[in-house]
Every structure is written in C-alpha cells, then in structure tokens.
C-alpha cells in the first residue's frame, strides 16, 4: 500500500478511529483535518488524542518511516508541526529538527478495503471497476457526471489561458487558433494550430475581401503549395510569394501533414479550403459567437461551403469522385463541442459572466453525444451518454481517472471500496 492509499483511507474515514502507536500509546482520531494541496505536511489542523492528551497539528504519510529522511523532513522546520507520522512500515524512529520524537502509527483498516483495492489494481483492463460498476447508483452517477464536465471545462479553460498568453491577451486571435486546430481533428490538429500561429488572424483580416489572398496565405503557409500543377495552384503560388515577402512569412514543413488512411473529404487540403471560407465570412466571429443564444445561430455562423475548386478537388490537380459542398452537421457539432463551448466557458470565467458558463453547458446538453472507442466501454457498463454533456464528462473520466489508474480519486472507485456489501471476490 502506498502513501496515496494511506491518504485515501484517512480522508475517507475508512480507518479505525482508535488505534495505538508503535510504542503502545493509545490514539483516538478526533478530527481528520484538511488535505494540503501544496508543499508541506499532508494534513493540516488534525486533532488527535495521543496517550490521553489532545494534540492539534499536522499529519504526514509515508510508505516506510525511513522515507522521512529520504525526503529530508528531518532538516525541514515546516515538518516540526507534525504530531503523527502515519506509515505502512515502521523501519525507524523519526524526530523533529530539535530532536524530539514524533509518534508513529501503522494505520489499521478493514482488510476488505485493501483486498478490494489490490484486486482492482491487479486487473489488466483500464476500466478496473467494471465488475462492480453496477453498484454506483444513477443519482450518484448524475452528480459525478456534472462534476466531471466542470473539470473538463476547467481543464480546457487552463489551456485557453496558456494560448491567451501566446496571443498577448487577444480573444479573437485565440478563438481563431482554436478554430483552426479543430479543423485538423485529432490527426492534423497540431499542424493546423501551427499554421494558425504562423499566420496571425490580424494578417488575414487585411485580406478578408479577397478570397484568392486568403487561400494563398493559408495554403502557402501550410507548405502544401510547393509547385503549380494547374492554373489555380499557379495563381495561388504567385500571390503567396508576394505576400510571403510582404509579411516576412516562413512556411511550414510539408512532411508534417498526414494523409495516410484518411478519406479524401477529410484531407487537410479540403479542410484548409473550408477554413479559408469561414475566415472570409468571419469578421468579428468571436463577438458574434458571444451574442448567439441559439444553437441554430451558431450553425449559421459556421456553415459555409468551400470554394468551387475545393468542392471538386482533394489535392492540387486531383479531382474528387463526389463533390464536397460543405461541412456536415457532425463536423459542425464537433466545432461547437470542442471550440465554442470551451471558449464561452473560459470567457465567462475570465469576465465573471456566469450566464456564459451556463450557456456553454446548455449547448452541450443540446448536442448529440460523441461515440468513440474511448468511452464505449463505459457506455457498455451502463454509464449515461445521451448528449455531448455526458460524453464529454465520460471522456474526462476515462482520460484522467481510468487511464491514469486514479481509482482512489474517482467517486465510482470510492463507492466500491467503501461499500460493505461489495466483497473482494466480486471484483475480478
């Protein structure tokens, strides 16, 4: 059992309240205290009776008592406030910096809790709670879904904050980069983001009335426009060379783009063509997104067909078998899920406008769920997935709990470990 498990037992009150130190002093836990998320002892402001005397102070967890020295707590005065050292193995005595000994406890708890935890950890499947998933009641799942969605939006807010720093606080520029990234989906997302960062929206804005300039800038910067193969690419290349010199642009390396195992309508060339049309019609797009209160208004803001050339070509000089007129609804939904909802939430948080945060979540409730291999096992087990609100929450659960083996931090894992009618042999 590691320190993380000891902390879990402590804060979830799954250990026995009355125990004894390794030197025989009785211990009664009166107040478990508060978890410290920062540097210093693991627990603040606990209250513990030791040998009949009530102490108020801090608690530290270690797997082995000797870890106290390994972590140099013996020379750190911040740990002089520790009143109890909780361990799995007591292999030495420990003291404060002034030499006074600190009481030490090998934490005792019901055997079934550790057996269930060890059984879960030994399972090869990343959904380690699968066999006992059914005990997590629907009302608890609903509350956990709400919490997971907020976590996901907060995580995306942190990512947007970092991007805001790169764009010197410009929300319009940040929105443009996020939008471009989404056009790459998972395969070419990084390439589209690099393209947007190398070609600021402020430059594109100067040419928004000239379609050929917008397409020349985007395709030229992408590195995909290397030599002319038809009249269209010849015109684009000529325009890009002039604009490249004017703005001192450096194009991307073409080898970064991925085409393998993709259907032609999803090729980055077609996606860049679609992005070009959106940029042409997107003057003040971020402001319009903030003003849109209906899902239909967002579809109208995003739904523009590609130029005539990219409706019939999947690469320069290469014809499509079937014309691609515009982005389908599923693609538009993903833009709203992955770009518009997160930036509404982030902007609402930044400006202290709760109505925008609520609108972001309402949009997700109105959109159909994403179905993919990441959340399919959870849905099979019975997790609700009726909207993008729930599918986004399940993605958060899979990525930051199941895949990272954080069962102790998951409400489902806690329910299984703490439920007395769930025996270890049920987890297999």
248 and 312 in a common domain: yes
Based on the domain organization, do 174 and 137 belong to the same domain? no
Q: What is the pLDDT of residue 90?
A: 93
Q: Is residue 355 part of a domain?
A: no
Summarised one tens digit per residue, pLDDT across range 364-414 is 999 999 988 899 999 999 999 999 999 999 999 999 999 888 888 899 988
Same-domain status, 123 and 188: no
Q: What is the pLDDT of residue 124?
A: 67
Two structure tokens written together for 208: 């928004």
Do 151 and 294 have their domain in common? no
Which two tokens mark 157?
């807010």
Residues 158 and 205 both lie in one domain: no
Q: Are 369 and 390 in contact, with CB atoms under 8 Å apart?
A: yes
**Do 293 and 176 lie in a common domain?**
yes
Q: Averaged over 235-243, what is the pLDDT?
A: 97
Give the predicted TM-score (pTM) of the model.
0.80
Q: Is the pLDDT assigned to residue 27 strictly greater than 50?
A: yes
Q: How confident is residue 420, by pLDDT bands cut at 50, 70 and 90?
A: low
Residue 81 has pLDDT above 90, yes or no: yes
- DSSP letter, residue 92: S
Q: Which residue has the higher pLDDT, 326 or 180?
A: 180
**What is the extent of the structural domain holding 182?**
169-327
| H-helix segments, 228-372 | 231-247, 268-280, 285-291, 295-302, 308-312, 329-335, 341-350, 354-366
Predicted confidence (pLDDT) at residue 294 exceeds the cutoff of 50: yes
* CA atoms of 67 and 42, how far apart (whole Å): 14
Residue 401 near residue 128, CB atoms below 8 Å:
no
CA gap 14, 32 in Å, rounded: 11
- Judged against a pLDDT cut of 80, whether residue 45 lies above it is answered with yes
**Whether the Cβ atoms of residue 193 and residue 180 lie closer than 8 Å to each other:** yes
Position 306 in a domain: yes
Report how many domains make up the chain: 3
CB atoms within 10 A of CB 216: 25
Quick: pLDDT tens for 102-141: 999 998 888 888 888 877 777 666 788 888 888 899 999 9
Answer yes or no: do 154 and 276 share one domain: no
Phi, psi of 250 (to 5 degrees): -120, 115
* One domain for residues 316 and 194: yes
Is 334 inside a domain boundary? no
- Mean pLDDT value across residues 165-172: 95
Residue 417 lies in a domain: yes
Tokens of 325: 């007129």
Shared domain check, 222 and 135: no
Cα–Cα distance list, 270 to 187, 215, 347 (Å) = 14, 11, 30
230 domain residue, yes or no:
yes
Are the C-beta atoms of residues 381 and 365 closer than 8 Å to each other? no
Instruction: List, in sequence order, every residue forming a beta bridge with 318; answer none if it has no partner.
Output: 315
The yes-or-no verdict on residue 422 having pLDDT over 90 is no
Final residue of a domain: which of 109, 127, 144?
109
Considering the domain boundaries, does residue 335 fall inside one?
no
- 232 domain residue, yes or no: yes
Co-location of 280 and 378 in the same domain: no
Number of residues that make up the chain: 428
pLDDT at residue 423, as a whole number: 46
Whether 188 and 208 map to the same domain: the answer is yes
Which of 281, 131, 306 is CA-nearest to residue 205? 281
Q: Are residues 242 and 261 in the same domain?
A: yes
């Amino acid at each position: 059992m590691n320190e993380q498990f000891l902390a879990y037992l402590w804060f979830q009150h799954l250990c026995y309240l009355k125990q004894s130190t390794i030197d025989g002093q009785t211990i009664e836990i009166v107040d478990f205290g508060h978890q410290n998320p920062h540097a210093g002892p693991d627990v603040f402001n606990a209250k513990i009776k030791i040998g009949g005397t009530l102490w108020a102070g801090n608690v530290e967890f270690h797997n082995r008592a000797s870890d106290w020295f390994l972590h140099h707590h013996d020379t750190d005065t911040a740990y002089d406030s520790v009143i109890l050292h909780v361990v799995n193995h007591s292999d030495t005595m420990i003291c404060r910096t002034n030499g006074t000994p600190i009481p030490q406890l090998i934490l005792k708890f019901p055997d079934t809790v550790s057996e269930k935890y060890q059984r879960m950890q030994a399972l090869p499947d990343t959904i380690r709670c699968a066999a006992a998933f059914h005990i997590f009641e629907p009302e608890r799942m609903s509350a956990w879904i709400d919490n997971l969605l907020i976590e996901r939006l907060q995580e995306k807010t942190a990512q947007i904050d970092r991007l805001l720093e790169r764009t010197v606080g410009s929300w319009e520029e940040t929105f443009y980069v996020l939008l471009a990234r989404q056009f790459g989906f998972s395969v070419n997302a990084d390439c589209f983001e690099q393209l947007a960062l190398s070609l600021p929206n402020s430059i594109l804005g100067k040419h928004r009335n000239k379609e050929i300039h917008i397409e020349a800038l985007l395709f030229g910067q992408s590195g995909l426009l290397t030599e002319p193969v038809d009249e269209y690419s010849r015109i684009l290349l000529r325009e890009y060379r002039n604009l490249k010199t004017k703005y001192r642009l450096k194009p991307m390396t073409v080898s970064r783009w991925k085409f393998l195992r993709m259907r032609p309508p999803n090729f980055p060339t077609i996606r860049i063509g679609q992005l070009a049309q959106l940029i042409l019609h997107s003057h003040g797009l971020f402001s319009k997104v903030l003003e849109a209160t209906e899902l239909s208004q967002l579809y109208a803001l995003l739904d523009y067909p590609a130029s005539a050339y990219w409706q019939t070509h999947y690469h320069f000089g290469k014809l499509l078998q079937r014309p691609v007129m515009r982005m389908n609804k599923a693609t538009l939904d993903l833009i709203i899920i992955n770009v518009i909802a997160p930036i509404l939430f982030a902007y609402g948080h930044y400006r202290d406008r709760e109505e925008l945060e609520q609108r972001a979540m309402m949009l997700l409730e109105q959109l159909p769920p994403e179905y993919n291999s990441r959340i399919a096992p959870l849905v099979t087990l019975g997790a609700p997935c009726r909207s993008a609100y729930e599918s986004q929450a399940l993605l958060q659960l899979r990525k930051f709990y199941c895949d990272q083996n954080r069962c102790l931090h998951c409400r489902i894992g806690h329910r299984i470990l703490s439920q007395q009618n769930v025996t270890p042999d049920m987890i297999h």
